[in-house]
Structure 1
Amino acid sequence: MAEKRNIFLVGPMGAGKSTIGRQIAKTLHLDFFDSDNEIERRTGADISWVFELEGEEGFRAREEKVIGDITDMTGIVLATGGGSIISSENRNRLSARGIVVYLKTTLDKQVARTERDKKRPLIANAENPREVLAALAKERDPLYEEIADLIIETDEQSAKVVASKIVEKLGF
């Protein structure tokens, strides 16, 4: 697996993709990218604003472009948005251009990690965020598993420990 030289992190919101991705990049001296941050940088607006103005469809089109551009690079770690795997084009790019690591977490941990975060448009105004997260998991978990080269549970470990496990398992 190590010959691919790119590490792509997938998983639901609150799984720790950005935090763990930064740690992996630091450990391996690779460049780190976060697809949501890159969308915000390119648009000059936060994700919530993009969702509000363009809807989820507009956001997903921007996300597809960003993931296409970033996955063309080599020697990187990329934390993807939780819904990026909805796009078959994104799934194909991620699978073909790097090692895909699915950061798996429980619904309870997701709720706890996202409950005060108002920057997540799919749950920010939800009456019952747990129900929304459960519905997203039902739809997305099979897609994460479909493209994962490695599945890592993130619940009971620090980001540093998870990052170390990933580096060790990938043989970098």
Structure 2
Amino acid sequence: MTSTAALHVPRTIVLVGLMGAGKSCVGRRLAARLDLAFVDADREIEEAAGCSIPEIFARHGEQGFRDGEHRVIMRLLDGPVRILATGGGAFMDPRTRARVREQGISVWLRAELDLLLRRVQRRNDRPLLQVDDPRKRLEDLMAQRYPIYAEADLTVDSDDGPPEMTTEKVLGALALYLQRPGGQSMGDIGRRVVK
């Protein structure tokens, strides 16, 4: 078990990845281990809009949702240090990505297609998966988004096991990241990938 006693987190940890990667589940556990608040950006968006994400998509379309998502994440990054789980498309916005790079530590929870598909089929409230072939849709999203997610400071594989296992991997990767001298960005020294 990774010791968190000496782990000082200077910036908000921003979890990115596709739906079903485990951002909320792992995020709650990280927050508990690091004694930080956990915030789910999707819940914050729903609270700000006064309706559910599927309703936002229906009323305002995906672009309307993305604009609101960007505003909410900017507000959250300006607040205290915390664990922030973002929606699958949040990191795709270049403005959001730039602000996360400046004010946060981004962690991509990377998962394989079959695992994502199993996880997302447990819920039917994913607007982007309201299609005839959810598997194909996820494949398309992976092809589009994985190259962008790869810009995150850390990449940790989210496996088909207990969430504590992935949480441990994230904590280990964070410990190494935070020990680097001089606060270099991962772009300066090469991104850290934890399998």
Deviation at 1:111, TM superposition (A): 0.7
Deviates more, 1:37-46 or 1:156-165: 156-165
Residue in structure 2 matched with residue 75 of structure 1 by the alignment: 81
Counterparts of 2:172 and 2:110 in 1: how far apart (Å)? 18
Larger Rg: 2
Deviation at 1:134, TM superposition (A): 0.6
Residue in structure 1 matched with residue 4 of structure 2 by the alignment: none
Q: Partner of 1:7: helix, strand, or coil?
A: strand
Equivalent position to 2:167, from 159, 163, 166: 163
Query: Any gaps of 5 or more consecutive residues in structure 1?
Result: none
Residue in structure 1 matched with residue 133 of structure 2 by the alignment: 128
Residue in structure 2 matched with residue 34 of structure 1 by the alignment: 40
Deviation at 1:158, TM superposition (A): 1.6
Equivalent position to 2:114, from 108, 113, 124: 108
8 Å Cα contact 1:101/1:149 also seen in 2: yes
| TM-score (ref. length: structure 1) | 0.94
Deviations 1:108-146 (A, max 9, x none): 0111001131111000x2100001011111111011001
Deviations 1:72-92 (A, max 9, x none): 123200000000112100101
Deviation at 1:2, TM superposition (A): 5.5
Compare relative contact order (CA 8 Å, sep 6+) and give the higher one, 1 or 2. 1
Deviation at 1:168, TM superposition (A): 2.5
8 Å Cα contact 2:40/2:86 also seen in 1: yes
* One-letter amino acid matched to 2:138: L
Residue in structure 1 matched with residue 10 of structure 2 by the alignment: 4
* Equivalent pairs, count: 170
Residue in structure 2 matched with residue 149 of structure 1 by the alignment: 153
Equivalent position to 2:20, from 14, 17, 33: 14
Distance 1:25 1:52, change over 3 A: same
* One-letter amino acid matched to 1:169: A
* One-letter amino acid matched to 1:126: V
8 Å Cα contact 2:28/2:38 also seen in 1: yes
| TM-score (ref. length: structure 2) | 0.83
Sequence identity, in percent?
39
Counterparts of 1:47 and 1:167 in 2: how far apart (Å)? 30
- Which 4+ runs in 1 deviate beyond 3 A? 1-4
Superposition RMSD in Å? 1.5
8 Å Cα contact 1:4/1:97 also seen in 2: no
Query: Any gaps of 5 or more consecutive residues in structure 2?
Result: 1-6, 179-195
